[in-house]
Amino acid sequence: MTLARRLLAGTAVLVVVLVAAIVLIAGGRLRQHLQDELSNRLEHEGRLLATEWLPGVDAAALAARAGGALGHRVTIIDSTGVVIGDSEFDEAGRQRLENHSTRPEVIEARRDGLGTSRRHSVSAGDDEVYVAIRHRLGFVRVSLATRSLDEIVTRAQRDVLMSGLIALVGALGLTVLFARSISQPVVELRDVARAIAAGDLQRRPSLSAPGEVGDLATALSRMAEQLGLRLEALRADEQLMTAVLESLDEGLLALDADGRVVRINERGRSLLRANDATPFALSSLPSVLALQLVIDDGLRGVAAEAREITVHGRTLAVASRPLSTGGAVVTLLELTALRRLETVRRDFVANVSHELKTPLTAVSGFAETLLDENISPANRRSFVETIRSNATRMQRIVDDLLDLSRIESGGWHPQLATMDVAALVYEIVANCQQAASDKGLALQAEVSDDVQELRADPTAARQVLQNLVENAVRYTSAGSVTLRAQRWGQGSGVRFTVQDTGVGIPPEHLPRIFERFYRVDAGRSRDVGGTGLGLAIVKHLVESHNGDVEASSQPGRGTAIVVVFPGTTV
C-alpha cells in the first residue's frame, strides 16, 4: 500500500473513532451535566418559592402564580401529602391526584430537607425531574420535563456527527494535498528566504515538519528574528540620537562627501530657515560668505574654529569638523542674547559713568576752588553746599544701583504682610505734601470704599508709591497730582494709579521709560534731581509681587502710571 493510501486510511479511521468517542462520551456527560444544572435551578426556584409560602397564603393561587412566572409546573403539598396547589391543575383536577407522600422526592425531602428524582409522570405524560423542598407547612415541589434536555443532547450529538463528517472530509482532503504536494515545504522555504532577503522580516515559514525540512524552517525563523532584533536596536539607536540632537540648543548640520545636507535638527532649521526635506543642496542655505567658508573647510578635511556671523538678524557662532568617512558636521550656536547683554552692559557702564561724571566734576572743581584762601565766607558756604548737594546725588545713584542689583540678582524676596491701604496712601501723600506745596501743586488721595487691605511687602509697596508720587511732583510744574487706590480682580488685589497734570511723555518714549538711566529729557531730569533708576526699581519690585506696571500719557495733558499688586502669595 502506498504512503498516500496509508495516510488516507489512517486518517479516516482516526477521525471516525474520535467522532464516535466524542458522541458517546460527550453525550452522556452533557446529559448528566444538564440534569445537574436543571436540578440546581429547580432547587433555587423551590427555595425562593418556599419563602413566599406563609401561613394564611392561598397555596393554590401561589402555585398558579409561580408556575406562570417560571414557565413550568409548581406543586404545593401539605404535610400529609395532599396536593393543595398545582400550577397545572385546578381544584377539581387536584382532587383526582394521588397522595404525594409516597413520592420519592417527597420522602427524601422529608428526611433530608431536599429531595430529587427523575421518573415518568402519568399526569404530565412525560419524563420529568422533580425537586422537593421541605417546608414547615409541608413541601414545595418544582418539576420540569426532560424532553428539552434530550433534545439538547440529541442536537449536540447531531452537531458533533456533522462536525466529524466535515472533519473527515477535510482531513482526507488535506491528506491528499499533502501526499500530492510533497515538494511544497521546499517551495515555501524558498519563498520565505526570498521575502526576508527583500526586507520582509515579518515573514515566517508556516510549516512545522520533522526532519531536515523542519530544522531548516526553524533555522530560517530564528535568522529572521535575529535580523529583526538587530534592526530594532538600530532603530532605537537612531531614535535616541534624534532625540539627543533635537534637544540640543545648538543647531547641527551633517553633510555627506558630495556636500549635501543629509541631516539637520530643528534648531538648525530655525536658525538658518531651512525648510527643505533632507537631503538637500548647500544652495538652499543662506548665502553668507563666512558660513560657506566654514562649510568648505570642513568638507576639505580641515577643522574650522568658530566664526561669528549674522544670519537673518541673528548672531551665530559657526564651526565645522570633518568626518573620517567624508563630509563634515557644522554646529551653530546663537549669540544674539549674549551680544545683546554685552551691549546692555556697555550702555549701563557708559550711563553710570556719565551720571557720576557731572557731580564728580562739580565736587572736584569746587573742592579745588575752596583751597583758595581769598574766597569770601559767603562764596565758601555756597561752594560747600554745592559739593554736599552733588555728593548727595552720587549717594542716591549708588543706593539705587545697589537696590536694583540686589533685586535683579535674586538676593531680595518680598516679605509679605497685610497692610492697611488707606493708611499707606495717606502716609505717602503726607510724605510728599511739602514738596507739592512748595511748587503750588494740589496733592490728592482717593481710596475706593471696597479697598481695605493689601497683601504685599510693606517696604517695597512704600518705595514704589513714594517713588511714583515724587516723580509726579518733580515733573509737574502746575496743576495736581492724584494717588488713587481701587480694587483689582476678584481677590485681594489693589490697583494704584498716580495721575499728574505735567508736560506728559511723547508716545515714542513710553515703551522705554522703565529702562535704567533712560530719560525723556536728560538735561531737565538732572536739573530736578532724578537718578534715572527710580522707574526701573519700581518695575522690578512690582514684578517680584507677580504684579504689573504700565504707563499712559498725552503730551501737555499729563501722565498716569498704573501699578497692580495682585495680593496673591509670591
Mean pLDDT per 10-residue segment, the chain (570 residues): 56 70 67 73 83 85 85 87 87 84 88 85 68 89 76 71 73 66 62 73 66 70 79 77 72 84 82 81 81 84 83 84 84 80 66 67 78 77 78 71 67 80 90 89 89 86 87 87 87 87 82 69 48 76 86 86 77
Query: Residue 306 and residue 302: Cα distance in Å, rounded?
Result: 13
Grid-cell match 554646529, residue found: 331
Domain with CATH 1.10.8 in the chain: 185-242
Domain covering 339-408 in this structure, CATH number:
1.10.287.130
Query: Residue 386 and residue 371: Cα distance in Å, rounded?
Result: 15
Domain with CATH 3.30.565.10 in the chain: 417-565
Which architecture, in CATH terms, is 185-242?
Answer: Orthogonal Bundle (1.10)
Domain 3-151: CATH superfamily, name plus number? PAS domain (3.30.450.20)
Angle at 272 between CA 270 and CA 276, to 5 degrees: 85
Angle at 19 between CA 13 and CA 25, to 5 degrees: 130
Closest CA to 339 of 372, 363, 317, 362: 317
Domain with CATH 3.30.450.20 in the chain: 3-151, 248-334
Residue 532 corresponds to which amino acid? Answer: G
3-state SS, residue 563: strand
The reported pLDDT for the residue numbered 529 is 47
pLDDT digits (tens, 9 = 90+) for 415-425: 888 889 899 88
CATH 3.30.565.10 fits 417-565, yes or no: yes
pTM of the model: 0.41
The reported pLDDT for the residue numbered 237 is 76
Q: Which CATH number fits domain 248-334: 3.40.50.20, 3.40.50.1820, 3.90.740.10, 3.30.450.20?
A: 3.30.450.20
Query: Which run of H or of E encompasses 464?
Result: helix 458-474
